[in-house]
Amino acid sequence: MNNNFFNDSADFLNRLHKSKAFLVTKSNEHVNLMQIGWGYIGYMWKKPSLIIAVRHSRHSYEILKNSDEFTVCIPKVGEFEEQLKICGTKSGRNYDKVKECSLEMAEGEKISVPHIKGCDSYECRVMYRQSIDSELLAKDIHEMSYRNNDYHVMIYGEIVAFRKYDED
């Protein structure tokens, strides 16, 4: 694995915050995309890790309940903006977002979930899933993000492969 992903962790967080990222999941042969804007990168259980948040109501969560792999693809700031909008507003239950967004996919290096060419890609294996407990959540965060009680599940993934966009 290319271990330079931590050298780019500040860039990862900056791009995730400014332009969002793609969460790529796979069920059988169906590849699904979702826009994400929250995440953490670091070490957990002595492993390089990425933590993402997916709401219970999302199609991607349904896939992740039965899959132990996902890829996070982060474009350069200002790139893939239209595709990210589609992936943030349409459900994979009803749309083939890979086709609709005309994205070029490439096989994963260590997992069966592909990545999007032109993005930095983090291939992950699920280590843990944790639903947010509303009783433990600060009131201001509940008011800001969970008024409709559609809580996130935190998905802890071990980073098993990393690919820079210029390596495609």
Residue-wise pLDDT for 113-142, tens only, equals: 999 999 999 999 999 999 999 999 999 999
Q: Which residue in 155, 136, 156 sits closest to 146, CA to CA?
A: 136
Q: Are 51 and 155 in contact (CB under 8 A)?
A: yes
**Can you give the pTM of this predicted structure?**
0.90
Alpha-carbon span 77 to 17, nearest angstrom: 10
Alpha-carbon span 64 to 125, nearest angstrom: 11
Identify the bridge partners of residue 34 per DSSP, sorted by sequence position.
Answer: 23
pLDDT over threshold 80, residue 5: no
To the nearest whole percent, how much of the chain has pLDDT over 90?
Answer: 67
Q: Output Rg (C-alpha) for the chain, integer angstroms.
A: 15
Alpha-carbon span 38 to 1, nearest angstrom: 24
**15, containing H or E segment:** helix 9-19
Residue 156 CA to its chain's centroid (Å): 11
Q: Which residue in 30, 16, 99, 19 sits closest to 59, CA to CA?
A: 30
Alpha-carbon span 136 to 11, nearest angstrom: 31
- CA dihedral sign, ordered 75, 150, 126, 25: negative
Would you place residue 93 in the very low, low, confident or very high pLDDT band (cuts 50, 70, 90)? confident
Lookup: tokens for 23: 């969460």
Q: Which residue in 168, 136, 139, 152 sits closest to 58, CA to CA?
A: 152
pLDDT over threshold 70, residue 35: yes
Would you place residue 168 in the very low, low, confident or very high pLDDT band (cuts 50, 70, 90)? very low
